[in-house]
Structure 1
Amino acid sequence: MPYLQFAGFGDVALIRRFDLKANLISALVERWCTETHTFSMPCGEFTITLEDVAMQLGLRVVGAVVTG
């Protein structure tokens, strides 16, 4: 935990559960395109970026790289 705090990811350790919606997950799996690593939607192709994940989880994505 101290390493997570130092790197600015301390809040990740507080995430305990997710309310997953099976129908939403199934819909996304059906639309996943393995060749382009994107979701094929009726209005175009979309991908999930690091910025999207950071925004959802409240993570800091600037600064030095942290590796194990």
Structure 2
Amino acid sequence: MTVAEVKKVLDLINMILDLYDLYKKFKLILDIINDLKALYQDAKELAEKINELLAVIPDIDLSELN
């Protein structure tokens, strides 16, 4: 194997390692997006429950408190 061939092989290995690093970063971003989707869904359900509770609580006339 010549020096040029060894350099080409090493360049290919480095490219593969770079691609793997990009894959890991992309996967991390996808995991974060999925976590954010789950948090959004939880917040949406919580808001619905709060609205249900507010619908049950009678309106209070603040002028009666004085």
The alignment's TM-score, normalised by the length of structure 2, stands at: 0.18
Instruction: Answer 1 or 2: which has greater strand percent.
Output: 1
Question: Which structure carries more relative contact order (alpha carbon 8 Å, separation 6+)?
Answer: 1
Larger Rg: 2
The alignment's TM-score, normalised by the length of structure 1, stands at: 0.18
